[in-house]
Structure 1
Amino acid sequence: MSSLSYEALKVFEGRAAATSGRGKDPVNEPMIRHWCEAMGDTNSAYAGADPTAPPTMLQAWTMGGLSGHQGRSAAYDELFALLDGAGYTSVVATDCEQEYLRALRPGDEITFDAVIESVSERKTTKLGTGHFVTTRMDIRADGEPAGTHRFRILKYAPAQRQQAANAPMPKSKRPRPVINRDNAGFWEGVARHELLIQRCGGCRTLRFPWLPGCNACGSLAWDTVEASGEGTVYSYVVMHHPPFPAFDPPYAVGLIDLAEGVRMVSNVVGVPSDKVRIGQQVRLEFQWVDEELELPVFRAVEGMTGTAEGGA
């Protein structure tokens, strides 16, 4: 990496990243519907005669797609060129923060301005050494402030690997699942070889993954039902990269339609990854992935596949 002073980066703070940007489409019901279907959000506020857009769609209305936006400033490109030239050629999104000021409804015209809010001093992470860049976007609906979106990335130089690229990677343990008070009951069920689905105590709607409250009626009361274990592959991806010591690519990750009407993500096993198909029937089993961790996976039922040929 070439030397790059922090002062050379600080001068970009406060510079515009986009000026007088305009959403390519007004807020509209089809996009709201697609978003809610993808997220599994059935809140009645986002449907019906006078719907609002889910607040977390705030950034979606500002996206420029492959062709980009008019009004993009050169400052962002200049900053990236400076970081690239110093050897910080990799980038990863780290987090975003949103603040909501006004509900968005179909027909609202979206405009926005964006600014490079901050560039951090050089930081060293597990990925490598680099600088965090935070961009703030101020979003308006029909000229009124609607919200703020902060997006943070890390521009970094990858850490040097400790072993040659062609050397075998040592086997390590799978990442442990995050267990908290909202999902502890699910993992307790897994330990008993039970796949438990939450059921709302108010409207009796089934939901998965586990949530503290019902997204259909808002009730905080719930109990569980045990899944039969039967399902079909709704969609899937075959993972090849990046390689990770605890996994043996290629392997299939499926979105499984459970017989009870909810979906969950898990591995599809029992057939080569290139033989997984949409509509394929699968059956739950529990598989030890190391000496401490057992996970629910789905085994393809031999000879029972759908007719679709593509994956997600």
Structure 2
Amino acid sequence: MVVPSPTYEEQLKAYEGRAATVAGVGKDPVNEPMIRHWCEAMGDTNPAYAGPDAMAPPTMLQVWTMGGLSGHTGRSEAYDELFALLDGAGYTSVVATDCEQEYLRPLRPGDEITFDALIESVSGRKTTKLGTGYFVTTRMDVRAGGELAGTHRFRILKYAPAQRNQRKRTEQPSPKDSSNPKSRRPRPVINRDNAGFWEGVARHQLLIQRCGGCGALRFPWLPGCNACGCLEWDTVEASGDGTVYSYVVMHHPSFPAFDPPYAVGLVELSEGVRMVSNVVGVPYDKVRIGMPVRLEFQRYDEELELPVFRPGGTGEGGGG
């Protein structure tokens, strides 16, 4: 009897449950400098993350397992073999899609980190806007002093890029042609946590949340305060003045609704919070950190109006 060779997807499924890393060891113990850098980057001022009894922010779980440029010992060949199998079939592109974390105990400075990782699942073939491919989920169990501290699941898509119409730029619809749905700016995702912000935009107001417990201002909108945890809040209207805290110039990819290159700024408002928006009214290569900017509302089509920033000095009042 001739035994048929396994199908391609059966070969992929055979990697489920195989180890990706065995007995990995964190490059550094949990330490205060890395916690401080993380909190500064995130703008997180929670007092639980500072002082002699500090704990690490739970979302830093993966940080303590990163191998840096030199990598880790204990990495198995299974992950590389799986990637080679996918690459060989033309699924050569990769994009991270999401992660899930579960926290079982706090991590504190001095904790020595060890971890094991396995290939938890390989999906069937999926077709996405990016292309056709397979979702690969890796589960990592993170331990401190031998005790399970948390679990991190990381999911990627290995895919073959979809064939796109490579028309010349001159043949593409104008970004300002709002009659063509494909040339319209993406619609914002509005939910119960941020609906009030978009209602303010419709009234030409830039609203910032203010915690009902500690009074801290926060942006973007969140269901609760990341400083004290209070769920009560109200809003204050931004004056509209700010400065460019940081920025990037977008060259690629090119979408019909955008006309690269263009500047995307991280603007620090005079109230102290920061928001991401376009910097308009100035060439992209003239945007500078520290540049004073002023809020305005720019209409892109009959349905969409967005807060943007234009170079300018201090003015009076909020967005009118």
Q: For the superposition of Structure 1 and Structure 2, which TM-score range results when normalised by the shorter chain?
A: over 0.9
Residue of structure 1 in register with 2:148 after alignment? 145
In 2, Cα distance between the equivalents of 1:72 and 1:78?
A: 12
TM, length-normalised to structure 1 = 0.92
Residue type of the partner of 1:138? D
SS at match of 2:279: strand
Distance apart, 1:56 and its partner CA: 0.9
TM, length-normalised to structure 2 = 0.90
In 2, Cα distance between the equivalents of 1:166 and 1:257?
A: 35
When structure 1 is superposed on structure 2, of 210-219 and 104-113 the one drifting more is 210-219
In 2, Cα distance between the equivalents of 1:64 and 1:149?
A: 15
Task: Report how many aligned residue pairs link the two structures.
Answer: 300
Match of 1:246 among 213, 235, 257: 257
In 2, Cα distance between the equivalents of 1:35 and 1:151?
A: 20
1:120 aligns with 2:131: no
In 2, Cα distance between the equivalents of 1:269 and 1:184?
A: 25
Unaligned segments of structure 2, at least 5 residues: 1-5, 176-182, 314-320
In 1, Cα distance between the equivalents of 2:23 and 2:135?
A: 25
When structure 1 is superposed on structure 2, of 174-183 and 227-236 the one drifting more is 174-183
SS at match of 2:254: coil
Residue of structure 2 in register with 1:178 after alignment? 189
**Correspondence 1:240-279 to 2 at 5 A:** 240-279=251-290
SS at match of 1:66: helix
In 1, Cα distance between the equivalents of 2:295 and 2:145?
A: 50
Any conservation in 2 of the 1:4–1:86 contact (CA below 8 Å)? no
Residue type of the partner of 1:175? P
Residue of structure 2 in register with 1:55 after alignment? 58
1:161 aligns with 2:172: no
1:12 aligns with 2:23: no
**Correspondence 1:35-114 to 2 at 5 A:** 35-114=38-117
SS at match of 2:285: helix
Distance apart, 1:301 and its partner CA: 2.3
In 1, Cα distance between the equivalents of 2:283 and 2:271?
A: 27
In 1, Cα distance between the equivalents of 2:13 and 2:170?
A: 41
Residue of structure 2 in register with 1:211 after alignment? 222
Distance apart, 1:167 and its partner CA: 6.4
The CA RMSD over aligned residues, in Å, is 1.6
SS at match of 2:137: strand
In 1, Cα distance between the equivalents of 2:170 and 2:242?
A: 39
In 2, Cα distance between the equivalents of 1:169 and 1:85?
A: 34
When structure 1 is superposed on structure 2, of 137-146 and 216-225 the one drifting more is 216-225
Residue of structure 1 in register with 2:237 after alignment? 226
When structure 1 is superposed on structure 2, of 54-63 and 196-205 the one drifting more is 196-205
In 2, Cα distance between the equivalents of 1:129 and 1:240?
A: 25
Any conservation in 2 of the 1:238–1:250 contact (CA below 8 Å)? yes
SS at match of 1:252: strand
SS at match of 1:233: strand
In 1, Cα distance between the equivalents of 2:167 and 2:208?
A: 45
Distance apart, 1:290 and its partner CA: 2.1
When structure 1 is superposed on structure 2, of 214-223 and 160-169 the one drifting more is 160-169
